[in-house]
């Protein structure tokens, strides 16, 4: 179990949604075709009483038109493979599935604000009507920085920051 496996799954999902939402919103604006494409998460900064910064090794986000799709593993190391998922303990399942984030949906971009709505997601709560994720963004060259202002469950008291790097 890595030190990142103690990060609550909901916090990781929110961070991942932030990344996807920002990218999706940016690519939805026809005047910003440079946001369309493929991105990877380079760094996630999680504030709070026990702040953490990690650099995930497995991420992929694709934005096209008004749609996005993203799959991420929010850990710096490899996850253990489950030999028999049917007999795995709850802790073993959390260690494997907790850091995994997957969703696809639509996004809107207004100024420097990205709003994302998941149509399909690992976390069913993210798919609820009106359950959007909202981020502010800043782009510098091939780096996109997203700061979460709202999760599907409400305002972000301690916003997560996600730095993305353009792959193509």
Domain CATH code at residue 48: 2.40.128.280
Q: What is the pTM of this model?
A: 0.73
pLDDT (average), residues 64-75: 88
For residue 110, what pLDDT is reported?
87
In which band, very low, low, confident or very high, does the pLDDT at 145 lie, cut at 50, 70 and 90?
very high
CB 146 within 8 A of CB 19: yes
The domain total for the chain is: 1
Calculate the alpha carbon distances from 109 to 22, 51, 116, 146 in Å: 8, 29, 9, 13
Q: Which domain covers residue 81, as residue numbers?
A: 3-166
CB 112 within 8 A of CB 136: yes
Give me 55's structure tokens.
């650099």
How many C-beta atoms lie closer than 10 Å to residue 44's C-beta?
A: 26
């Amino acid at each position: 179990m890595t030190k990142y496996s103690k990060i609550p799954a909901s916090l990781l999902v929110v961070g991942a949604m932030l990344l996807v939402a920002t990218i999706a919103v940016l690519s939805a604006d026809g005047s910003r075709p440079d946001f369309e494409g493929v991105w990877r998460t380079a760094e996630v900064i999680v504030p709070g009483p026990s702040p953490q910064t990690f650099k995930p090794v497995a991420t992929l986000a694709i934005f096209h038109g008004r749609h996005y799709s993203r799959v991420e593993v929010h850990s710096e190391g490899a996850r253990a493979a489950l030999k028999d998922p049917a007999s795995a303990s709850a802790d073993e399942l959390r260690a494997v599935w907790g850091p995994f984030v997957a969703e696809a949906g639509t996004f809107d971009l207004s100024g420097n604000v990205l709003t994302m709505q998941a149509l399909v997601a690992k976390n069913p709560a993210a798919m609820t009507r009106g359950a959007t994720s909202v981020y502010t963004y800043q782009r510098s060259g091939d780096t996109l920085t997203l700061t979460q202002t709202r999760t599907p469950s409400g305002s972000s008291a301690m916003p997560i920051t996600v730095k993305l790097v353009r792959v193509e």
